[in-house]
Structure 1
Amino acid sequence: MNSPAILIGAAVLGLLSGWLDIAMVNQICEVVADIFIRLLKLVSLPIIFFSLVATLSGMSDMADVRSLGGRVVKYTLLTTLLSASLALGLYLLLNPSQNASGLLDSSTPAVTTVSYWNHLLNIIPSNLIEPFLNNNVMGVLFLAFVLSGSILSLGKEHKQTLHQLFESLFAAVMKMTGFFLKLMPLAVWAFVTLFVKDVQNHEVLQGLALYLLCVLLANLIQAGVVLPTLLKIRGIPPVNALKAMWPALTIAFFAKSSSAALPSAVDCAERRLGLQRKVARFSMPLCITVNMNACAAYILITVLFVSQSNGVQFTSLEMFSWIIVATIAAIGNAGVPMGCYMLSSAFLAAMGVEMQLMVLILPFYAFIDMLESAINVWSDSCVTAMVNQELVAEGEQSLEEV
């Protein structure tokens, strides 16, 4: 792992080079950032697949899988619902749509939206390699669960052989990932340089100030208050957990991708946080796909903000119903770039709302996406730690009863 001092130094250099805005340096940063993200994407899907299959095939039976999976789903729903509820409370308190009407301009082009029905249908692939070729995370999860269930139903000899095979493949991919992560300081410099260059429109920033404040507060309170409180309730020191997961959070922040941080997140959960291997390798890949606290907050605030700024009125019941809608949408969010942004656009298009404001939000989404990615990985880590603690507590209770 790269030391925090080296990463901070790279970020400072990025701030300087971004402020200087030199064309050649910007081009170099774009190439470096693209190469690094490509390398992380290269290993992210294999890690999800091999991690889940290696972990699940090593369990005793399907009852063990259902027990562990049920705990992950329970904490995922809890944290995501809390995030969406917090977002609605802050939105009602700050009311960011009251100052947004001046930003609307009929000449602003519409935002292109995507169909999420096709994404849902593509969860079941037509062949074994299709999900990997199309970067279909949910399809990879489906394959991993089906294959793992099949392995668990085999005889002991075949089951053990396949378990060892996938365990070795997972170890090889993790080793390859370690080589890629040595480039992290260079990547941080490139990411920070490009970010500083992009965020320059101060006039639009003032018009969107309350909206951006609302999104930032919802994310920061969820990460800094709600999740640590849940950890404390389970008897887990939040500061220790944060320190242990910091390398993975750093990667998620600068790469703007929770999936890209998965290799580091699994490693940190096992070695630095000291979680059980079967829990870390099962929960982290699953959470990174379905547990998106920050995405739920962003969808709720953005849809309400853009809708009300365009004159759409909501009843109190409709307002609160968006907690459920945002939670479900975040859990089923497609594994595509800028997924939360595009999903919010899809909701607005379905409602027939003009999306001029989405174009103005787009330049600032770069930073929001960075923050969301880091907070999603932090939430994944908290869920995994709480599942691990629950299993440990149950094990100790069983020993006491004996």
Structure 2
Amino acid sequence: MEGFSMADQHKQNPHDEVEQQAQAALSAAKLSGQKRQLALWIAALIVGGILGWANVPALNDLFSFIATVFTRLFQFVAVPTIALAVITTLAALGTKRDTGRIFAHAVTYTLLTTICAAAVGLALFLWLAPANLPADVIGAGASDVPGKLEGLSYYDHFLSIVPNNVLAPFVSGNVLSVMLVAAAVGLGLAFAPKTENREMLLKGIHGLQELLFTLIRALIAVLPVGILAFAAQLAAQIEAGVIIGSLGVYTAVVIGGNLIQFFVVI
């Protein structure tokens, strides 16, 4: 029996080696693809900056159009992706015994990281003071703020999160309302009776999620075009004499806050 088992083990070894080699080849190919993608993004950033700095009106109009298209495409996939991710996650957690504990930990973690992010942003803002913009720039931005916001209370802000119909959050792009609706649907599916209709609904939701992931992969594949357009827009604005000092400090605050949040807080 021992000799037979040893023979079986020797027969399985070549198959295991082939699987290991295949996995190693896939990992190497994935890493190589990521490097090529990063190089392509950097090249698009550089070329876009050069073309934008040339300040050719026809190219500026084209890049503005492309940047607007990419912005709208990202907005198109962002909201439903968030909603479906919340729904599928909560629906899956509902089938486990420790759902309440996991949900409480997730909410606590989210609140703590949000508070830390706000504190980091406030500290960087007070330290670097990026608010010293010219009066004309501040006036241009203030004109876009609705005057009715001054009279809103905290209750009004919270009330704006609660939708009066299912489609309103998705049409208006209110992410907090979308999260609220998605959480309600996810928890409803989690604790709903385990019927065939529920399983069919979950399969449909997972199918929509896979479709969105496919669209996102396609969008990432053509992202170098968008990077080129955004870089060209920024370079054209800089070359045209847009205020650099205060906006540069403001950009440093935003990027620095994100880096601290990603590498330190989270």
What's the TM-score once normalised by structure 2's chain length? 0.69
Please say if 1:142 is aligned against 2:180: yes
The 5 Å alignment of 1:155-194 reads: 155-157=193-195, 158-194=197-233
RMSD: 3.3
Q: Which runs of 5+ in 2 are unaligned?
A: 1-33
Q: CA 1:217/1:79 → structure 2, altered by over 3 Å: closer, same or farther?
A: farther
The 5 Å alignment of 1:254-269 reads: none
Q: Aligned residue for 1:113?
A: 145
Q: Point out the more displaced range, 55-64 or 154-163.
A: 55-64
Contact 1:36–1:183 under 8 Å retained in 2: no
Contact 1:21–1:197 under 8 Å retained in 2: yes
Aligned counterpart in structure 2 of residue 51 of structure 1, from 60, 73, 85: 85
SS in 2 for 1:127: coil
One-letter amino acid matched to 1:113: V
Q: Aligned residue for 1:123?
A: 161
Q: CA deviation at 1:122?
A: 3.4
Q: CA deviation at 1:186?
A: 0.5
**In structure 2, distance between residues paired with 1:43 and 1:175:** 11
Q: CA 1:72/1:197 → structure 2, altered by over 3 Å: closer, same or farther?
A: farther
Q: Point out the more displaced range, 110-119 or 122-131.
A: 110-119
Q: CA 1:203/1:137 → structure 2, altered by over 3 Å: closer, same or farther?
A: closer
Aligned counterpart in structure 1 of residue 105 of structure 2, from 61, 71, 81: 71
Q: CA deviation at 1:14?
A: 0.5
Quick one: higher RCO (CA 8 Å, sep 6+), 1 or 2? 2
Contact 1:14–1:191 under 8 Å retained in 2: yes
Report % sequence identity: 22
Q: Deviations over 1:292-338 (max 9, x none)?
A: xxxxxxxxxxxxxxxxxxxxxxxxxxxxxxxxxxxxxxxxxxxxxxx
SS in 1 for 2:66: helix
Q: Aligned residue for 2:23?
A: none
Q: CA 1:164/1:11 → structure 2, altered by over 3 Å: closer, same or farther?
A: same
The 5 Å alignment of 1:148-297 reads: 148-157=186-195, 158-200=197-239, 204-206=243-245, 208=246, 212-213=248-249, 215-216=250-251, 218-225=253-260, 227-230=262-265
**In structure 2, distance between residues paired with 1:36 and 1:73:** 32
Q: Deviations over 1:52-101 (max 9, x none)?
A: 2122222235975543343333333333433444455455555677xx59
For the pair shown, the structure with the greater C-alpha radius of gyration is 2
Q: Which runs of 5+ in 1 are unaligned?
A: 231-381, 383-402
The 5 Å alignment of 1:332-343 reads: none
